[in-house]
Amino acid sequence: MITLKTESKLEALLERGEFVVTAELGPPKSVDAGILDAKIAALQGCVDAVNITDNQTAIVRISSIGTGVYARSHGLEPIIQMTCRDRNRLAIQADLLGAYLHGLRNLLCLTGDHQCFGNHPASKQVYDMDSIQLINMVRDMRDRGVFQNGEEIRAGKKAEMIPPRFYIGAAANPFAEPLEWRVNRLEKKINAGVDFIQTQCIYDMEIFSRWMRTVVERGLHQQVKILAGVTPIRSLGMAKYMKESVAGVVVPDSLLERIGAAENPKEEGLVFCAEQIRSFRAMEGLAGVHIMAIEWEKAVHGIVEAAGLLPRPREEV
């Protein structure tokens, strides 16, 4: 019998050894519930949990927690993303208490994209903490029952200590530089208390396999559940953009050639994505896959099906 740290369904699935599938759900830039409903419908039944982004690329959207509560009421298992860009430690902890109150149990701790990339470049950045410090703070809240300042999480002196118990995730980027430091950085996150990792989107299978081999050699896969990140390519233009303009993403020339030569590049992108997931299933040390179909949630079902990962396991009560 495995003892679980939290009430997270994602944790339960990972701990019983399922190869899990998570996907990204980007909240809309307005309060258009119809858009949200369509995205939720596209992901129902084909993934085990959904990441709800937090002002992704520094563009204002419905909050991650607000969207998470909504998605949960529609039967999805949300993973709330929390960045350090927009909130100091007071706001982060308060929001986490609120999220927990609403039944949210998974948290992805991120540093956050710089505000210069978004639609409010004149805003003041916060970065009171970074992702590693955030992981550590949330772990201490859960396992030691204390706030960042060391104070116990209880309503009053005689009240019971009732801390939020989040299943803690973080990102890892095997492709950013310095490359030789990237596994160490994963280890730093493990030391800070992370439970699961979702990687940056992978196109270069060679660099990724090398990173993964080092992870396994060092036994880190036994200390953290690693989900390999993928983003389906929709066109040659998108592939080139990812290669040239997105820092920390490596797109090999062979993939550009393959997409360029394809009769239907969009279809080819999906086929490649499913192929990747099949190789991830065979790769030692991976616990699942994370599909970031940017503003293309409806592609997820087909990818998961083509990768042979349907139906999704039922959660045992």
Partner 1 sequence: MIVAEQKPIHEILAMLPEVEQLLVLGCDTCVTVCLAGGEKEVKLLCGAIRLTNVKIGRVKGMSVERQCDREFLQEIAGEVEASGAVLSLACGAGVQMLAETFPDKIVLPGLNTLFMGSNEGSGYWLERCIGCGDCMLDLTGGICPKTRCSKGLMNGPCGGSQDGKCEVDPENLDCAWNLIYNKLKRVGLLDRLMENRPPRDWSKAHDGGPRSLHREDARL
133 binding partner 1? (CB under 8 A): yes
- Report in angstroms how near the CB of residue 74 gets to partner 1 at its nearest: 31
- Report in angstroms how near the CB of residue 102 gets to partner 1 at its nearest: 26
Q: C-alpha distances in angstroms, 277 versus 42, 105, 124, 250, 309?
A: 19, 26, 39, 17, 9
- Report in angstroms how near the CB of residue 89 gets to partner 1 at its nearest: 7
Tell which positions 242-271 bind partner 1, by CB under 8 A: 247-248
In degrees, rounded to 5, the angle at the alpha carbon of residue 128 between the alpha carbons of residues 122 and 134 is: 125
Residue showing tokens 């339960």: 12
192 binding partner 1? (CB under 8 A): yes
- Report in angstroms how near the CB of residue 249 gets to partner 1 at its nearest: 9
Nearer of residues 150 and 311 to partner 1, judged by Cβ: 150
- Please count the other Cβ atoms lying within 10 Å of the Cβ belonging to residue 27: 24
Q: Determine which residue in the list 73, 191, 222, 235 makes contact with partner 1, applying CB under 8 A.
A: 191
Residues 54-93, mask of contacts with partner 1 (x by CB under 8 A): ------------------------------xx---x----
Number of shown-chain residues binding partner 1 (CB under 8 A): 34
With a CB cutoff of 8 Å and minimum separation 6, the contacts of 240 are 251, 256
Q: Determine which residue in the list 36, 132, 224, 236 makes contact with partner 1, applying CB under 8 A.
A: 132
* Binding-site ranges for partner 1 (CB under 8 A): 84-85, 89, 111-114, 116, 125, 127-133, 136-137, 148, 171, 173, 176-178, 181, 184-185, 187-188, 191-192, 200, 247-248
